[in-house]
Amino acid sequence: MSFLESIKAGIGKANQADANINQVKNLFTRISEELESLSNKNITFSTAISSTARIKKVADSFDDPLKPKEFLDSDQLCIIKDSKSFTPVAKWRQNINGFPCMVAFDGAEFICQNIEELTEVLNMLLSSTNFGKTLKKIMDE
């Protein structure tokens, strides 16, 4: 009995996960470029890990460091000014496969199964009143 086909399938899934994660990163880069163009300031849109998640990550590492992770560490979407000031605008969870991603803001939670769904949800986030007020405040600083 050979396990070669199973091994190849696992490598294929790992490659697809990397491609999915890169799609999401590229989407955030496009949003960042447009934010910077609009504001003429060093403002980016990215994922970040909250203090609470950092503490949980440290605590979990004592529990079982070999336990496989289901989600990437970042748990929020932020507007970042000058690589110093992180302002959260939404909750975030991303599966290690790249998808699904969960975005929560304004009392709603969205599960995105692919880049098209994520793009649609991020358009809703970017056009929300709370995002607009947060961005306006950051741009005025």
pLDDT, position 67: 63
Q: pLDDT of 78-123, one tens digit each? A: 999 998 889 999 999 999 999 999 999 999 999 999 999 999 999 9
Percent of the chain scoring above 70 in pLDDT: 89
Angle subtended at Cα 46 by Cα 45 and Cα 48, rounded to the nearest 5 degrees: 140
Look up the domain containing 57 and give its range. Answer: 4-140
Residue 62 pLDDT greater than 70, yes or no: no
pLDDT, position 70: 81
Average model confidence (pLDDT) for the chain?
91
Q: Closest by alpha carbon to 90, among 110, 102, 105, 111?
A: 105
Q: Which amino acid belongs to residue 68? A: P
Our count of domains for the chain comes to 1
Q: What torsion, rounded to 10 degrees, do the Cα atoms 21, 24, 26, 31 define?
A: -160
How far does CA 120 lie from the centroid of its chain? Answer: 14
pLDDT, position 5: 93
Angle subtended at Cα 100 by Cα 22 and Cα 105, rounded to the nearest 5 degrees: 100
